[in-house]
Structure 1
Amino acid sequence: MINFGGSLRTTGRFSVSYFSDLIDRCLTLGFLSSAQSIHAHLVKTGLHRHTFLGNRLLGLYSGIGSITLAIGVFQDIPDKNRFTWNILLMALVRTGCVEAAHELFEEMPERDVVSWNSLISGYVSTGYVDKAFGVLHRMQDLGVKVSAFTLSITASCVSSPRQAKQVHGFITRFGSGSLNTVLGNSLIDMYGRVGLAGYASQIFCAMDNSDVISWNSMISAYGRSGCGMEALECFCAMRAAGFLTDEFTMSSVLNICTDLENLAKGEQLLAHCFKMGFLSNSIVSSAVIDMYSIFGRLDDAVWIFRGMPRWDSVLCNSMYSGYVRSSIGDEAIKLFVVALRKSVMPTEFTFATILSSKTCFCSTDLGMQIHCWVCKTGFEADMIVANALVDMYSKLGFVESAIKIFSKMVAKDLVSWNTMIMGLAKNGQGVEALRIFRELQGNGVKPDRITLVGVLLACRYGHMVHEGKRIFSLMEKKYGVMRDLEHYACMVDMMGRAGMLKETLNIIETSPHSRSLSLWNLLLNACRIHGDLVFATIIAEKLLDLEARSSLPYLVLAQMYGVSGRWESVARVMKAMEERGVRKVREYSWICVRKHIYVFKTDQLFQWEGRAVYSMLQLLDWVMNGEGCVHEESTLYGDCCGE
């Protein structure tokens, strides 16, 4: 609490400067109780109606984040000036109350460039890019002078090449002819974000004065635009021009080396980082960790991580990503727990990375525990995290939970829709997946290739062949999506399982992927399902023409011969396979039961209780036979040609 004694008693009166000083001290401390105490004394003395002190008190409540009390102070000031309105406007923007800020803006008797900038900043920070541009256009129509700061703010929210060129046009129209450094840097960064490195380069060359930020922005622009070699050349030019590199420079160039798959150059830069002491910076270290983990050198990534004096979320996120990328999600979970104990708070990227780990897909309990942490830390409303949760629950088979999270999402991107459609399709809920697809179109979202893979899978799992054929035929004409191998694979699998073998053969032969082994494999499997041995023989020969060492044709034919009791043919096929040196690819499956992960192949359990499992299968077989159930020969204990 702030003490109101001392000089206050000795002077016997309250001065404006004294209260102004108290407000400064209170703002530094950030205590709401102290602010309310000052407010009470101002009311007692009547100074709360003083415009200057009212503005100071308004700024105090705004700085502390108490917008309700700030509005009360605003209403008590009888003679509001331009600063009064702007302080409350900025407070509303800062607390995310953009619509309220807009209403206040419309009520303002006098607006200056600060007022306009505040409103634009509010729309930018809350993602309303179009509204920010609308305010900018309105400034132009009213003849309000657009400041460099205004244009810098607007440049920061650009998300498309069209918008970038629009902002550049504003600057050309209202600028003084030459670019100052701050505005030039903003434009370089803007063009870099939308992938127009050529335009960024033109801005860079036109600048009268460039600084380290200019060079860093240009390197980053090249990197974002996929021009890695140009980025490295820019880095060399920067050093040749006598500019000192900083942590941002090194992290950008290290990421570019990773994108270029140039580990040798990356390690040269790492040596420079050691020399300059940049590795103590978490952004640089995280770039090194990313580089090593992407190149498969996880031990080196761990060594860098362990050498860091302090952990933060950026550093830990890179390590989580490295573990997940290397398919050892258990280590990512362990690190997550340790990081929490060290008070390293997770971010949305943390949860998205960990939830994508296969470890979460193997354990329902673990996935739900991570979900609890998401709720505790307030990230459930984050779109990226929500997408990851929908994906996780779909893969765990808890479709109702996935739908519940999806339906609660305030904002959805195309990834959200695709994840939900794919999750429903793979869980056999084809009708519901198509309903979500129709909802996507109703919301004006344009589907992409992944969307249509999900829709075709929904038709395949839902046995909706007619609908699948209709959507497949409309892909290019209605949805503007070119058919690729995955779309053809969905159609071949769907129609093959429906018994339309000849029509499926025609689709493969007339497709651009007629030599794709995966399509012929799917058709061969369809022949096996329907027991068409004659057609299977034709397809098997076609497969062997494409890939002589493929084991699938031999195995499928041997299995089909075995089911029909033609054991001599089985022996002949297996002998031909052996003579040609074709080996069966070993296939494994995993299942998590009571926190134990069981690994097994077609005819053998590798881990716990393998014999007991087979004894139980034998017992179930006897029970089935006793009740008159007949099993498929090919599905019990593996196939006749298993190892």
Structure 2
Amino acid sequence: MRPFLRPSYLSPKPTLSHYNNFINQCLSLKSIQLSQTIHAQLIKFGFSGITFLGNRFVDLYLKLGSFNDASKVFEEINDKNVISWNIWLNGLLKFGHFKKAHLLFDEMPEKDVVSWNSMISSFGVLGLWGCGLEVFKEMQTFGVRPSKFTFSILTTFVSSASQGKEIHCNMVTSGVCLSSLVIGNSLIDMYGKLGLVKYAFSVFLSMVEVDIVSWNSLISSCFKLGHEGLALEQFDQMRLAGFSPDEFTVSNVIAACTNLRYLDKGKQIFAVCVKMGFISNSIVSSAVIDLFSKCNALEDSVRLFEEVELWDSLVCNSMISSYARHGFHDDAFLLIVLAFREDCRPTEFSLSSVLSCINFLSIEQGPQLHLLVIKSGFQSDLIVATSLVDMYTNTGSIDSALQVFSEIHVKDLISWNTLIMGLAHNGRVVETLEIFKELLREGPAPDRITLSGVLLACRCGAFVDIGMHILSSMEEEFVVTPRDEHYACVIDLLCHAGKFKEAFDTLEAMPFEPGFLVWKSLVLATATYTNLNITERVAKKMIELNPHSSLPYLVLTRAYEMRGKWGRIIRVKKAIKQRLKKRVGCSWIGIRNHVFTFEADRLQHEGGKDIYLILELLTWELEESGNIHV
């Protein structure tokens, strides 16, 4: 061990004050080696038995992360006082030795309010809020008076309005100064989390002195509870009162502008951020990117993102979500790959956003993104796993979807519904019904979306009896009131099975006026097989419900053509020209992650003459091989 060299200006033997200063220097330098050297000198000169210095060294080693050295010093303190026990108790809790800490607490010969606060806080770390409240009650039984920090800790435990009010009342009876900044800010935050905005304002207005934390707690409470306008008002009041906002203030206020789509107000706050140098803060810059994106100013989001000097997970994730939101799927996918290279860990929300972009046009990207999910360790995350299931069902990769679903340890109803709807839309009728039976055995109770998926499967599989049974037993068995989408599936099912009378009986028995979706199912199924009067009546009802839909006109045209009613066809086409704007149809094809669109009535498409040249070559090859005859 390197010998400890004392400066020449010190006395031959360091004093207690000198060692105290040396400990402070070790702490500022964060040097364990220097700490051990000074500790050795402490023992050499006979100061090791002094409780004060022993406490200082236990605290020093704990702060430097040397748990074993701290343990040895604590054991060597002969005359331990309550400070010694408290330092070691906090050390055990800090390093995760909760059982040892609880045993030590029970054995402590003396406990003060700091000891009790440490134990109450430890239960909060473990998420055992009820145990923390029990320790608080036990503390009062022992006659230890709570401090303002005790109540500050307790406010983070509260899970109901009654608990919050009880603790507030306890503060009053304990004589704690409610105008204190610590107490006041804790109460504002507590009432905000409980959704009691009026109580939060009442505490704020009763405080003799407020600081930026008080304002931030109040603004945050308003914003998180959906009172964005009120949050903006408080921001203006704060500035009028002479307080300068910090990063937390502006991030909340910008988020409020985002929810309200107040782009102009958001730009004003953005200018304040630039002026005060907050834009380099990742929380602020990600909030601004989100603001621009959701207010349809994506180009501003891109410009700000490009100006960010150091990439951060928050900023990257905001930009990825922005690209995905506006349909720039390739850019979102590319950015998430680049973020990985820059060691910017994605969140479950950004991964979910990109997964939602994957469709049959970019099917090659799906497995690649799945590998990135595994690499980032999110394969067990429920949100990401459900998005993977949705992606695979959208691209028709049912086996992959079933595999991902089987690996979800704790499934919620959203994950079940995603698979059921995906299977139904892909025509996997038997698997849909099997998954539904599995849900009834071991999952949460189904909802209207679940039953919509099952009825859709019945429609695809022509399972009339099962579909009718589900519709008739929805309220009694599943406590779900049938809606338009459920009746539309069943009516469609009955019509395709040729049971037109039953379909109209079901329509008549509906407890509410049928919507457009129900009439749509009916008109599509009956236009060919029923008499013209019924088709006209249904089409008329659809036009009343949705005047801008072209479907009823197209159905009427088809029905008149089949029956040779040429005069009526002319009247329908005239009505289409007068009432509806022509929609241009298009086809598209995805090649190597690029989508080529071909609109109707256009001779020149993207690529121009090159596309037609390639088509001529393909046609020539097909003719040569004998596959087509022209």
Partners of 1:485 and 1:513 within 8 A in 2:
no
Determine if the alignment matches structure 1 residue 377 to structure 2 residue 376.
Answer: yes
Partners of 1:96 and 1:126 within 8 A in 2:
no
Q: CA RMSD in A?
A: 5.2
Secondary structure of the structure 1 residue equivalent to 2:176? coil
Determine if the alignment matches structure 1 residue 579 to structure 2 residue 578.
Answer: no
Structure 1 residues 78, 240: closer, same or farther in 2, change over 3 A? Answer: closer
Counterpart residue number, 1:516: 515
Q: Which whole-Å CA distance do the structure 1 matches of 2:140 and 2:455 have between them?
A: 49
Q: Output one character per residue of 1:407-451: Cα deviation in whole Å (capped at 9) or x when no partner.
A: 54455555445445544554533224324532565xxx5666555
Counterpart residue number, 1:4: 2
Letter aligned with residue 525 of structure 2: A
What pairs with 1:43-122 in structure 2 (closer than 5 Å)? 90=90, 94=94, 113-114=113-114, 116-122=116-122
Counterpart residue number, 1:388: 387
Q: Which whole-Å CA distance do the structure 1 matches of 2:134 and 2:464 have between them?
A: 47
What pairs with 1:523-562 in structure 2 (closer than 5 Å)? 523-527=522-526, 531-532=529-530, 535-559=534-558
- 1:323, distance to aligned residue in structure 2 (A): 1.2
Partners of 2:351 and 2:373 within 8 A in 1:
yes
Q: Output one character per residue of 1:255-314: Cα deviation in whole Å (capped at 9) or x when no partner.
A: 222222333332333333344443333333322222221111111222222233333222
Letter aligned with residue 523 of structure 2: L
Secondary structure of the structure 2 residue equivalent to 1:245? coil
Structure 1 residues 542, 383: closer, same or farther in 2, change over 3 A? Answer: closer
Secondary structure of the structure 2 residue equivalent to 1:368? helix
Which one is further off, 232-241 or 106-115? 106-115
Which one is further off, 484-493 or 53-62? 53-62
- 1:510, distance to aligned residue in structure 2 (A): 5.9
- 1:327, distance to aligned residue in structure 2 (A): 1.1
Partners of 2:588 and 2:598 within 8 A in 1:
yes
Letter aligned with residue 229 of structure 2: M
Counterpart residue number, 1:568: 564
Partners of 1:551 and 1:583 within 8 A in 2:
no
Letter aligned with residue 148 of structure 1: K
Q: Which whole-Å CA distance do the structure 2 matches of 1:173 and 1:294 have between them?
A: 49
- 1:340, distance to aligned residue in structure 2 (A): 3.7
Structure 1 residues 76, 181: closer, same or farther in 2, change over 3 A? Answer: closer
Partners of 1:35 and 1:60 within 8 A in 2:
no
Counterpart residue number, 1:265: 265
- 1:166, distance to aligned residue in structure 2 (A): 5.3
Structure 1 residues 567, 488: closer, same or farther in 2, change over 3 A? Answer: closer
Q: Output one character per residue of 1:470-515: Cα deviation in whole Å (capped at 9) or x when no partner.
A: 6556666676666555555555555555555455545556657636
Structure 1 residues 143, 483: closer, same or farther in 2, change over 3 A? Answer: farther
Partners of 1:554 and 1:574 within 8 A in 2:
no
Q: Which whole-Å CA distance do the structure 1 matches of 2:85 and 2:360 have between them?
A: 53
Counterpart residue number, 2:231: 231
- 1:204, distance to aligned residue in structure 2 (A): 1.4
Letter aligned with residue 2 of structure 2: F
Secondary structure of the structure 1 residue equivalent to 2:245? coil
Which one is further off, 337-346 or 166-175? 166-175
Secondary structure of the structure 2 residue equivalent to 1:199? helix
Query: Who wins on radius of gyration, i.e. which is larger?
Result: 2
- 1:517, distance to aligned residue in structure 2 (A): 1.9
Q: Output one character per residue of 1:549-587: Cα deviation in whole Å (capped at 9) or x when no partner.
A: 53212333555677xxx3735x66653332111466455
Secondary structure of the structure 2 residue equivalent to 1:309? coil
Q: Which whole-Å CA distance do the structure 2 matches of 1:455 and 1:49 have between them?
A: 77
Secondary structure of the structure 2 residue equivalent to 1:188? helix
Counterpart residue number, 1:335: 335
Structure 1 residues 324, 479: closer, same or farther in 2, change over 3 A? Answer: same
- 1:456, distance to aligned residue in structure 2 (A): 5.1
Q: Output one character per residue of 1:167-211: Cα deviation in whole Å (capped at 9) or x when no partner.
A: 545545546262422232222223323433222212212223211
Counterpart residue number, 1:187: 187
Q: Which whole-Å CA distance do the structure 2 matches of 1:237 and 1:200 have between them?
A: 16
What TM-score, normalized by structure 1, do the two folds share? 0.73
Letter aligned with residue 263 of structure 1: L
Secondary structure of the structure 1 residue equivalent to 2:564? helix
Q: Which whole-Å CA distance do the structure 2 matches of 1:30 and 1:501 have between them?
A: 86
What TM-score, normalized by structure 2, do the two folds share? 0.75
Q: Which whole-Å CA distance do the structure 1 matches of 2:492 and 2:48 have between them?
A: 76
Q: Which whole-Å CA distance do the structure 2 matches of 1:309 and 1:328 have between them?
A: 23
Letter aligned with residue 539 of structure 2: A
Q: Which whole-Å CA distance do the structure 1 matches of 2:53 and 2:333 have between them?
A: 53
Structure 1 residues 500, 352: closer, same or farther in 2, change over 3 A? Answer: same
Counterpart residue number, 1:367: 366
Counterpart residue number, 2:244: 244
- 1:29, distance to aligned residue in structure 2 (A): 5.5
Partners of 1:51 and 1:77 within 8 A in 2:
no
Letter aligned with residue 578 of structure 1: K
Q: Which whole-Å CA distance do the structure 1 matches of 2:150 and 2:620 have between them?
A: 76
Structure 1 residues 296, 147: closer, same or farther in 2, change over 3 A? Answer: same
Unmatched 5+ residue regions in structure 2? 7-12
Counterpart residue number, 1:636: none
Counterpart residue number, 1:281: 281
What pairs with 1:316-355 in structure 2 (closer than 5 Å)? 316-355=316-355
Q: Which whole-Å CA distance do the structure 2 matches of 1:202 and 1:227 have between them?
A: 16
- Residue correspondences, number: 604
Q: Which whole-Å CA distance do the structure 1 matches of 2:379 and 2:437 have between them?
A: 24
Partners of 1:604 and 1:610 within 8 A in 2:
no
What pairs with 1:584-603 in structure 2 (closer than 5 Å)? 585-586=583-584, 592=590, 595=593, 597=595
Correspondent of 1:433 among 421, 432, 435 = 435
Structure 1 residues 583, 263: closer, same or farther in 2, change over 3 A? Answer: closer
Structure 1 residues 359, 547: closer, same or farther in 2, change over 3 A? Answer: closer
Which one is further off, 378-387 or 507-516? 507-516
- 1:328, distance to aligned residue in structure 2 (A): 0.8
Partners of 1:551 and 1:577 within 8 A in 2:
no
Which one is further off, 173-182 or 53-62? 53-62
Identity %: 40
Partners of 1:586 and 1:601 within 8 A in 2:
yes
Structure 1 residues 244, 29: closer, same or farther in 2, change over 3 A? Answer: closer
What pairs with 1:191-202 in structure 2 (closer than 5 Å)? 191-202=191-202
Q: Which whole-Å CA distance do the structure 2 matches of 1:172 and 1:472 have between them?
A: 57
Q: Which whole-Å CA distance do the structure 2 matches of 1:156 and 1:590 have between them?
A: 55
Letter aligned with residue 437 of structure 1: L
Letter aligned with residue 241 of structure 1: A
Counterpart residue number, 1:634: none
Structure 1 residues 405, 63: closer, same or farther in 2, change over 3 A? Answer: farther
Partners of 2:485 and 2:518 within 8 A in 1:
no
Which one is further off, 187-196 or 509-518? 509-518
Q: Output one character per residue of 1:579-599: Cα deviation in whole Å (capped at 9) or x when no partner.
A: 111466455566656656465
- 1:114, distance to aligned residue in structure 2 (A): 4.7
- 1:325, distance to aligned residue in structure 2 (A): 1.3
Which one is further off, 168-177 or 80-89? 80-89
Partners of 2:359 and 2:394 within 8 A in 1:
no
Which one is further off, 485-494 or 189-198? 485-494
Q: Which whole-Å CA distance do the structure 2 matches of 1:505 and 1:30 have between them?
A: 85
Structure 1 residues 63, 177: closer, same or farther in 2, change over 3 A? Answer: closer
Counterpart residue number, 1:639: none
Letter aligned with residue 332 of structure 2: A
Q: Which whole-Å CA distance do the structure 1 matches of 2:523 and 2:450 have between them?
A: 27
Structure 1 residues 532, 14: closer, same or farther in 2, change over 3 A? Answer: farther
Q: Output one character per residue of 1:370-399: Cα deviation in whole Å (capped at 9) or x when no partner.
A: 333333333334444344334333433444
Partners of 2:23 and 2:35 within 8 A in 1:
no
Unmatched 5+ residue regions in structure 1? 624-643
